[in-house]
Amino acid sequence: MKIAVLNGSPKGKYSITLQSVKYLQKYHPAVEFEIFDIGQRIKQIEKDLPFFDSIVEGVRGSDLILWCYPVYTFLVPYQLLKFISLIFERKAEANFAGKYTSQLLTSKHFYDHTAHNYICNISEDLGMKHIVGHCADMDDLQKPEGRKRLLQFGEELLWTVRENRPLPRKYSPRETPTPRYAPPEKLPLVSPVGESEVVPYDVVLVTDCTDSDSNLGRMIAVFKAALVNPLRVVNLNDFQFDGGCLGCFHCAVAGNCVYQDGFDEFHRTQIRSADCVIFAASINHHWFNPVWKCYDDRQFYNGHRISSMGKAVGYIISGSLQNEANLREVLEARSEMARTYLTGIVTDEVASNTVTTLLLQDLAVSTLRAIATKASRPVNFLGAGGMRIFRDLIYVMRGLMREDHRFYQKHGLYDDFPQRQWKRTLQMIFLGSFLRQKLIGRKASANFKEVLLKRYEKIIRKN
């Protein structure tokens, strides 16, 4: 049996994830593992067609394709996403079709499921049979339980291929095209929101749109016309990225990125500084064009610090987001994690031009309103859960991630550690032992609900 390993880590042979493959290799000497360093050699893969073809040839000659990668900002690293886009662009899908595939990923479990969903979706688009992947913690290989689970995963892969097991499909086939969006010649008048009319808010629209005569281009134009404030437009294609994040952690140690292309400065001064950011992009293979992933990953220079807290964000999207639950979850989770106020997501999937136009105009108005009123919402699970992972991680790694640690201290992001809530813990110990005493318990449980409400009633009376 032959397994083609598509190593998406930009660290190549120094990848932590790859060590799990090496472990499997040791336990299955009869299986041939061919490792392709996709992440590290993406520039060559882009430029050198025969090199790309040799990888595709390796895939064609294998029984199983193993996507092996670290989770990078909710998804796969930019380099692997770029490779995936090349498979479609160069029409190499047939080489993947019909093969068994699975994925081995490492992370700190922060949105590893969205990365897993994405690769599963891509695999199925390529016509492959996807076996549920192995979402390991980056330290799992160091633990006996982790090694045991990894070996079980390996056994399952080999068994599935040997037995030619049938596998269910998780996602509906391919992306649905959206109708042409053509705004009316005469746009409906927009009623502006009071004071925001005159306040010079800085609203920036970040896009990769190059064609003003596309759905996305026309949507941007309608949004711009509806905004009473001037709109700054930043096109990601105008920024010369030297490359995707290398995962070297130089930024965590030294405080700056190894690349000298000025991305930190560009991001800080052109995007982070704005009162509101509107992202305008087209859906492409369950994500956006690769430049967006490069942009996302390179923001790692800022560690886990939340740079846009309290700001407003919105999205203008060309593509059928209704069929992209995973992508939508990531967009919402990003806002939740960044503590930004998501004013809205407008797409071109509604068949009515009038509705889309009205939604775009509403996005402009509600964006200004959100800035003017400093709108905020409580975070839901996507933000509260994610933040607990970050909090624990940074606390443990505070010796290395010193800037992050200072930021978390300053903004009270450690304050919800359970062990710090000693007053509440004590209260619960007393309450529990009180209620457990049968006689008192019987009486107390009758008015337990009333007792619990006392504190809330006091707040309502006093505020």
Q: Which residues sit at the interface with ligand FMN, rule CB under 6 A? A: 9, 11, 15-17, 70-74, 106-112, 138, 245, 247, 297, 300
DSSP state of 110: S
| Nearest CB to ligand FMN, comparing residues 8 and 319 | 8
The neighbouring-strand residues paired with 318 are 282
Within 10 Å of residue 138's Cβ, how many Cβ atoms?
17
CB of 11 to ligand FMN, least distance (A): 5
Identify which of residues 181 and 292 has a Cβ nearer to ligand FMN in the complex. 292
**Closer to ligand FMN by Cβ: residue 21 or 364:** 21
Closest separation between CB of residue 62 and ligand FMN, Å?
Answer: 21
Q: Which amino acid is present at 199? A: V
Q: How far is the CB of 300 from ligand FMN (least distance, A)?
A: 4
Q: How far is the CB of 16 from ligand FMN (least distance, A)?
A: 3
Between 321 and 330, CB nearer to ligand FMN: 330
Q: What is the nearest approach in angstroms of ligand FMN to the Cβ of residue 78?
A: 9
In three-state secondary structure terms, 257 is: coil
3-class SS of residue 412: coil
What does 155-194 look like in DSSP terms, one character per residue? HHHHHHHHHT------S-SSPPPPPPP---SSPPPP---G
> In terms of CB distance, is 247 or 314 closer to ligand FMN?
247
Residue 239 to residue 263: CA distance in whole angstroms: 8
Smaller CB separation from ligand FMN, 73 or 367: 73
Q: How far is CA 118 from CA 126, 139, 141, in A?
A: 12, 23, 24
Residue placing its CB nearer to ligand FMN in the complex, 73 or 178: 73
Select 77 or 183, whichever has its Cβ closest to ligand FMN.
77
The least CB distance from residue 150 to ligand FMN, in Å, is: 14
> Per DSSP, which regions of 338-452 are E strands?
341-347
Question: Residue type at 354?
Answer: T
Least distance in Å: CB of 239 to ligand FMN? 18
**Smallest separation (angstroms) from ligand FMN to the CB of 33:** 16
Q: How far apart are CA 210 and CA 240, in angstroms?
A: 15
Task: State the DSSP code for 48.
Answer: -
> 132, 164 in Cβ contact below 8 A?
no
66-100 core/surface letters (b: 16 or more CB in 10 A; e: else) = bbbbbbbbbbbbbbbbbbbbbbeeeebeebbeebb
Q: Name residue, tokens 């009333």.
A: 450
Question: How is 370-395 classified by DSSP, letter by letter?
Answer: HHHTT------HHHHHHHHHHHHHHH
